[in-house]
Amino acid sequence: MELCDYTIHELHEMMKRREITSRQITESVLSRIDQVESRIRAYITVLREEALEQAGTIDQKLQKGEIPLTPLTGIPIAVKDLICTRGVLTTCAAKILHNFIPPYDATVIARLKQQNIVMVGKTNLDQFGMGSSTENSYYGITRNPWDLSRVPGGSSGGSAAAVIAGEAIGALGTDTGGSIRQPSSFCSTTGLKPTYGRVSRYGLIAYASSLDQIGPIAKDVTDCAILLNAIAGYDPKDSTSVNLPTPDYTRALVPDITGLKIGIPEEYFIAGMDGEVEEKIWEAVRVLEKLGASSEKVSLPHTEYAVAAYYIIAPAEASSNLARYDGVKYGYRADKYTDLIDMYMTTRSQGFTPEVKRRIMLGTYSLSSGYYDAYYLKAQKVRTLIKRDFEEAFKKYDVLIAPVSPTPAFKIGEKTEDPLQMYLSDIFTIPINLAGVTALSIPCGFTRDGLPIGLQIIGKHFGEETILKVAYAFEQNTEHHKKKPPL
């Protein structure tokens, strides 16, 4: 096994014993990138020289005792290219930001730098986070390491593909309607969407501000907890950040779930769902029951309205957030135009992909005079009902268990001609973002064709410790997370 195939916590223990250096880990990751990146295309920017320099500096400082050896010290981490990184190209996978270099770090990046991580690069995504397949990128399609003819999921497909392929030891993604959990399910990584307000959004380039959350994508549950420890916590720079104490999430990693109550939402097992996905979810429930948990079915009655509500709320917020990309202040500007209005129109039509333009138009329409009450206001009322469904369920159950996606990874190009089919692939993840609760995806098996399947563990607001505990118990009693793609 190469160093790039180990987990964060395994590499940390090896560094503690002085068996390896940060530079050796970084060189292993960069070597893997050389071997597989031309096939996977997980990255938009690889920081080769910068990463090696960072690693060398970290090794020197550790040797002199100038910095502490934290669980993330010297570990190569990838960052979704939707998160601002000072002095490093940040594109959102969009032509309109092809030359944007932020003058500041997002709060999550500043916190990772305090832990002395090595930033290995910026990963590919669906443009501005709008998509479920990482096919909507100006920089090309990312491919699933388990089957190069299939998508890695989206929009954090580059981060999930990089982690499972050994092109990074861990990564940051963002989740607006499932964009951490669905790629984690398709790629067999562990990905966690924190409670809205648990992780600062300062420096995250906004898609839908009331839904976006930054979270970790990792090789196992322990690594997920380590990354969450580093990025979680109150930030006065983010007005939606919640000022609550942040626990040490690694302390929740005990494999005892005796007496735990699991609710299984009936609405998450639907007609047309892949039979192998359903089979693996029920197998996972039986594993948890053997470990001392009890389960029963529960109803979340407003689930059927979630996709419709989401595709009014998210595009409405996107149409507002993306209005700033006009070719004036920064980013791409069209070469040929007749006047100011023509410059705006030509720049935006050339700078955005069809999917981004589709969502901007949907959002602008639903916010327009005469339609606001009929669409946007009604969608927000539905959102409140969905949130109440979860609050009622969590009065009785510690966690909810569900599939992440109705299917395993689909073929590249399979859904690009039918936006509605693409939107429906997020049917089990969207309600969590609308409610603002926390959830994670953990590997729970494979199809007969060798495609990964993810189990979704959903927790109440600020219930990250509970879902990590359940995930850890499941992981310690299964082998799914140990399998690697045959690259």
| Residue whose token pair is 């491919």 | 143
- The H or E element spanning position 440 is strand 438-446
Q: Which of 396, 382, 386, 427 is nearest to 268 (CA)?
A: 427
Q: Indicate the helix (H) or strand (E) that contains 80.
A: strand 76-80
Identify each DSSP E strand in 9-67 by its residue range.
Answer: 43-46
CA distances from 183 to 150, 216, 233, 367 (A): 12, 12, 25, 31
Which amino acid, one-letter code, is at 207? Y
How large is the C-alpha radius of gyration of the chain?
Answer: 21
| Catalytic residue (one of 80, 122, 193, 460) | 80
What is the C-alpha to C-alpha distance for residues 352 and 356, in angstroms, rounded to an integer?
Answer: 6
3-state SS class at 277: helix
Catalytic residue among 28, 155, 184, 319: 155
Tokens matching residue 47: 């920081």
Known catalytic residue: 366? no
Instruction: Give yes or no: 357 in active site.
Output: no
Question: Of these residues, 179, 200, 405, 425, which one is catalytic?
Answer: 179
Question: Dihedral of the CA atoms 412, 44, 354, 181 (nearest 10)?
Answer: 60
What distance in Å separates the CA atoms of residue 457 and residue 285, rounded to the nearest whole number? 11
The Cβ of residue 446 has, within 10 Å, a number of other Cβ atoms equal to 17
Instruction: Tell me the H-state helices in 242-369.
Output: 275-290, 306-321, 340-351, 354-367
Residue 360 in tokens: 């901007």
Active site residue 295: no
As annotated, the active-site residues are: 80, 155, 179
